[in-house]
């Protein structure tokens, strides 16, 4: 009996222990809400010291927090920012890079890292950080707008990236006076030498407006209208040319192989008239791409195709028709220096014309150099030299005609206030023509000089 009682006692003890261990459920542990590092820092003495510009104390407080929260991306970022404010750029860069390795989408860290790259004269690295922010915008667009403004400063706004508040419409115009000696021809045949004074004085009027109807940080679509009119003051009223142009344009911005690239397409319908009669109508399509290889070097490629109808000036297909397809392809390289205050652009163009009746078919080559630089009192100096070889291999009265032309121009411009600019300009053209037709071979010199005022609002 004693052994039975001992056995029962052991069983009861075992069941009791089992019930205590497994049968009863322990109360669930209280859930600890993790407080963010940002909140902890903003409640610390380090944040107060940072706002008071006491950077040494702020740095010590951040390092204390990092002992308990090692490799915290927010605290690493704040440490990098404080070190940058203390002008310890190398240490600041290491901490910001480490923060981005943990949290690559931290736009604030990338913005400060871009500042370090700029101060280290590394604009390409800075632009990569800024483009990341633009292509991954924050909901409030705060850091995106800051990145846009920074890019505008670095690139001289090569690619328009307006802020959200900037208006989408513009009105613009140019009003000026020109003196033109109007191409006095000099034939090598005495009986056809022209002694009549063909000098011209004219006023030029240009007005237009544009509207960007669809726009974001990488795309822009818009429409514009442009009107121009020339008014002669002497007997050359027949040369009072009037032109209307309606344009649709689209620009697209993209980072290609780490390089900022802008691509675009424009369509222009142009209608010109002399007096009461239509002179020409045309549809042209311009496609272009521009890539910035370095901070001070940009490269552009473009192609313009125009289908033109000269109306009653081109109906005689056997002799005079110039209606047809006009195509121009060009490449241009622009070099910026003196902190982008000066630039030198070099371009080459090849043109091909295919006309009805083949009379004005032509192949043309042109080289152009443009230099732009500021002078005293906000005056901008710009000069351009170009050489053009226009080869009409099928011509109306002869099987061949070739024009060799040299152009040189100078322009001075100065802003007046926020919306206006005044300009003075001069251009010189020298042409030699090898066409030994009824007028013989001829050459001419042409001089144009004038002044104008332009506005954009």
Q: Are 82 and 191 in a shared domain?
A: no
211, 145: one domain: no
Tens digit of each residue's pLDDT (9 = 90 or more) over 298-318: 899 999 999 998 876 544 545
Token pair of 74, please? 């927010």
Asked if the structure places residue 26 within a domain, the reply is no
Show which of 104, 125, 151 is a domain's final residue. 151
Indicate if the pLDDT at residue 365 is higher than 60: yes
Q: What is the DSSP letter of 239?
A: G
The CATH number of residue 242's host domain is: 2.40.160.40
Contacts by residues 275-278 (CB-CB < 8 Å, ≥ 24 positions apart): 275/237, 275/238, 275/240, 277/311, 277/312, 278/311, 278/312
pLDDT at position 158? 40
CA distance 259 to 264: 16
Q: Of the segments 34-43, 46-55, 67-76, 261-270, which one has the largest average pLDDT value?
A: 261-270
- CB neighbours of 167 closer than 8 A, spacing ≥ 6? none
Binned at pLDDT 50, 70 and 90, residue 334 comes out as very high
- CA 449 to CA 415: how far, in whole Å? 20
**163 inside domain:** no
Q: What pLDDT was estimated at residue 205?
A: 95
Residue range of the domain that includes 119: 51-151
Asked if residue 57 is part of any domain, the answer here is: yes
Please identify, among 151, 181, 196, the residue that sits at the C-terminal boundary of a domain.
Answer: 151
Same domain? 131 vs 205: no
Please indicate, yes or no, if residue 82 is contained in any of the structural domains.
yes
Angle at alpha carbon of residue 332, lines to 415 and 289, rounded to 5°: 95
Work out the pLDDT band at 134, boundaries 50, 70, 90: confident
pLDDT at residue 2 greater than cutoff 50: no
- Say which residue, 180 or 318, is predicted with more confidence: 180
Which of 156 and 112 is assigned the larger pLDDT?
A: 112
- 367 and 339 both lie in a single domain: yes
Shared domain check, 190 and 134: no
Residues 406 and 293 in one domain: yes
Among 94-98, 168-172, 232-236, 406-410, which stretch is predicted with the lowest mean pLDDT? 232-236
CA-based angle 364:368:371, to the nearest 5?
A: 170
- 118, 227: one domain: no
Identify whether residues 362 and 255 lie together within a single domain. yes
Q: What is the CATH number of the domain that holds 134?
A: 1.25.40.10
Please indicate, yes or no, whether residues 144 and 176 belong to a single structural domain of this protein: no
Q: Which of 275, 210, 199 is nearest to 238 (CA)?
A: 275
Total domain count, the chain: 2
- Given CA atoms 93, 94, 99, 102 in this order, what sign does their dihedral have? positive
Q: Give the whole-angstrom CA distance, residue 67 versus residue 65.
A: 5
Exposure class string for 146-180: b at 16+ Cβ within 10 A, else e: bbbebbbebbeebbebeeeeeeeeeebbbebebeb
Strand partners, 282: 270, 308
Instruction: Answer yes or no: is pLDDT of 247 > 90.
Output: yes
Same domain for 223 and 271, yes or no, is yes
Name the average pLDDT for the chain: 81
Q: Is residue 123 part of a domain?
A: yes
Q: Is the pLDDT of residue 18 over 80?
A: no
Whether 13 is covered by a domain: the verdict is: no
pLDDT digits (tens, 9 = 90+) for 135-174: 887 777 788 888 877 777 676 544 444 444 567 899 999 9
Q: Is there a single domain that holds both residue 311 and residue 337?
A: yes
**Residue 325 pLDDT exceeds 50:** yes
Of the listed ranges 223-227, 274-278, 331-335, 401-405, the least confidently predicted one is 274-278
Residues 209 and 65 in one domain: no
């Amino acid at each position: 009996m004693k052994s039975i009682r001992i056995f029962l006692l052991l069983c009861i003890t075992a069941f009791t222990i089992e019930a205590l261990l497994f049968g009863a459920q322990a109360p669930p542990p209280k859930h600890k809400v993790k407080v963010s590092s940002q909140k902890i820092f903003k409640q610390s003495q380090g944040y107060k010291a940072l706002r008071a510009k006491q950077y040494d104390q702020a740095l010590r407080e951040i390092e204390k927090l990092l002992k308990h929260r090692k490799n915290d991306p927010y605290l690493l970022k704040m440490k990098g920012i404080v070190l940058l404010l203390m002008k310890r750029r190398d240490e600041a860069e290491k901490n910001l890079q480490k923060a981005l390795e943990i949290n690559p989408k931290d736009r604030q860290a990338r913005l400060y890292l871009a500042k370090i790259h700029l101060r280290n004269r590394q604009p390409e690295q800075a632009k990569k950080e800024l483009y990341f922010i633009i292509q991954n915008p924050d909901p409030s667009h705060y850091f995106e707008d800051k990145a846009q403004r920074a890019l505008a400063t670095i690139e001289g706004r090569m690619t328009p990236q307006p802020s959200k508040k900037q208006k989408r419409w513009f009105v613009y115009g140019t009003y000026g006076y020109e003196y033109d000696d109007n191409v006095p021809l000099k034939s090598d045949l005495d009986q056809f030498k022209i002694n009549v004074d063909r000098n011209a004085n004219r006023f030029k009027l240009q007005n237009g407006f544009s509207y960007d109807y669809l726009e974001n940080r990488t795309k822009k679509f818009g429409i514009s209208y442009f009107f121009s009119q020339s008014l002669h003051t002497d007997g050359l009223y027949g040369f009072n040319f009037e032109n209307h142009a309606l344009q649709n344009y689209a620009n697209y911005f993209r980072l290609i192989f780490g390089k900022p690239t802008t691509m675009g397409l424009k369509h222009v319908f142009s209608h010109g008239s002399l007096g009461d009669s239509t002179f020409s109508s045309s549809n042209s399509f311009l496609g272009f791409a521009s890539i910035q290889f370095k901070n001070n070097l940009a490269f552009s490629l473009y192609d313009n195709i125009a289908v033109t109808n000269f109306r009653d000036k081109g109906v005689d297909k056997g002799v005079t028709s110039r209606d047809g397809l006009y195509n121009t392809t060009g490449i241009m390289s622009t070099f910026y220096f003196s902190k982008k205050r000066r630039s030198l652009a070099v371009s080459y163009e090849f043109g091909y014309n295919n006309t009805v009746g083949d009379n004005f078919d032509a192949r043309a080559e042109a080289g152009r150099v443009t230099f732009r630089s500021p002078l005293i009192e906000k005056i901008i100096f710009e000069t351009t030299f170009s050489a053009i070889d226009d080869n009409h291999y099928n011509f109306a009265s002869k099987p061949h005609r070739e024009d060799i032309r040299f152009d040189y121009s100078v322009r001075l411009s100065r802003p007046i206030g926020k919306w206006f600019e005044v300009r003075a300009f001069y251009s010189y053209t020298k042409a030699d023509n090898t066409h030994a037709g009824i007028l013989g071979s001829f050459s001419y010199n042409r001089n144009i000089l004038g002044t104008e005022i332009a506005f954009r609002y």
